[in-house]
Amino acid sequence: MKIAERLARIAGYVIPGVPVADIGTDHALLPVYLVQRGISNRVIAGDLNRGPLDAARTTVARYGLEKLIDIREGDGLQVLQPGEAAVIVIAGMGGAKIRDILAASPEVLKGVKRLILQPQGGEALLRRWLLENNWALTDEELVCEDSRFYIIIVSEPLPQSEEYSKFEIGLLDIGPRLLEKKHPLLIPYLNRRIQSIEDVVKSLDGASSPGAQAARRELQEKVDSLRRVIKCLLNVEPL
């Protein structure tokens, strides 16, 4: 099976030979890929909605993998029992939603060796929750697919996180590991964010209320901060 680059990158972070859970599996493309490539011989594919579950069952049946891929209906990590999965993948949801899913099932997370998360926005608050709950930011990846950027966050448990104090809020917004490795897509990604924020700033140009003006100033400060990061990446000035 051929899968999108985003999913292939996610698969590359899965620990070989351990049981995997794909939460919000949609069409179960990732579970099928993991089994076909021999990365995992047991995948639990969970989804809350009946439509994606039916599509997942169709995909799994097409490849004859019903004995290796267990499709379950349920909300978040509620489809899992503690110890069932060593790696959990949650992709394609908002960062706040992923955070809430993780926070709702602490017992399930106790036996997990790795989280592979691909949030659609809200990356900073998700990173902050991970660090505050003793999950290290092990790695981060940035993928551009169909002119859209996707961030992948890989996290592993620590007995007690000592990382949180090292990262300023601004770094959590951008991605500390992306900055460390000077990811080749980071500058284009930041330029896209700047453009998006500037569009909002322009829409507030005519607003006269104190709230709108305060929002405009805050957004402009974020743009200035992102531009400084780009200069640092270009070795123009220190961060």
The domains of the chain are located at 5-167, 186-233
Residue written as tokens 């660090």? 131
Residue written as tokens 């039916």? 54
CATH number of 5-167: 3.40.50.150
Tell me the average confidence (pLDDT) per consecutive run of 10 residues in the chain, 239 residues long: 93 98 96 98 95 95 97 96 97 97 96 96 94 93 95 90 56 91 95 93 82 86 90 73
Residue 86 carries which DSSP code? Answer: S
Residue written as tokens 């003793």? 134
Please report the pLDDT score of residue 55 as a whole number.
95
Cα gap 118→152, rounded to integer Å: 5
Please report the pLDDT score of residue 171 as a whole number.
83
Please report the pLDDT score of residue 38 as a whole number.
97
**Tokens linked to 19:** 């049981």
Taking CA 18 as the corner, what is the angle to CA 16 and CA 19, rounded to the nearest 5 degrees? 130
pTM tops 0.75: yes
Please report the pLDDT score of residue 236 as a whole number.
56
Please report the pLDDT score of residue 166 as a whole number.
56
Taking CA 125 as the corner, what is the angle to CA 119 and CA 131, rounded to the nearest 5 degrees? 100
